[in-house]
Amino acid sequence: MNRKTITVFIVLTAIFALVIFSFLKKETAIDNVVLSDKAELTENELKNIENAVAEFNKESEIYAVISVKNITKKDTISIKWEIIDNNNGNTETAQEDKVVPKEEGSGEIAVSLAQRNSQHEIGKYRVSVSLNEQDPVIKEFTVK
C-alpha cells in the first residue's frame, strides 16, 4: 500500500466511526409536561390528563410532571412558574427551579409550585420547562 491509499483508508475509517457514533448516541429530550395535583402518576393517569384543561383550587398541590428521555447527569432542567393574570394586569414570576438529575435514563420528574400561606394565589398561571436552555415546553393552568 502506498501513502495515498493509507490516508484514504484512515479518513474513511474516521468517517465511519463518526457515523456509527451518531447512530448510537441517544437524544436527550423532554417528551412531555403534564400538570397534576399528584407527584406520582401511573401511565394511564398521564395519558388521561395529558390534554385536559388544567384547573386547580387554591389549596391544591400543583406539580409539573416532566417526562424525560435519555437524560444525563450533565443536563439541567429549568422550570419557571409565572402568574400571568392575577387581576392586577401584571405578569409575575412565582417561582424558578433548576433540576440537575442524580440518575441517568428516562422517566418522570415532578416539581411542585410552592404555596404561600398554605394556598396559591387565584389567577391564570404559566409554567415553562426547558432542557439545557433549549426552547421551553409551555403549559398554562388556572387556580380558582
Q: Does the predicted TM-score (pTM) go above 0.85?
A: no
Q: To the nearest whole number, what is the mean pLDDT of the chain?
A: 89
In a domain, 103, yes or no: yes
The residue that leads in pLDDT, 111 or 51, is 111
Per the structure, how many domains does the chain have? 1
CATH of the domain at 35: 2.60.40.10
Per the CB < 8 A criterion, the answer to whether 128 and 140 are in contact is no
pLDDT digits (tens, 9 = 90+) for 64-121: 999 999 999 999 999 999 999 866 778 899 999 999 999 999 999 999 999 999 999 9
In a domain, 51, yes or no: yes
In a domain, 31, yes or no: yes
In a domain, 56, yes or no: yes
In a domain, 15, yes or no: no
Label residue 53 by pLDDT band (50, 70, 90).
confident
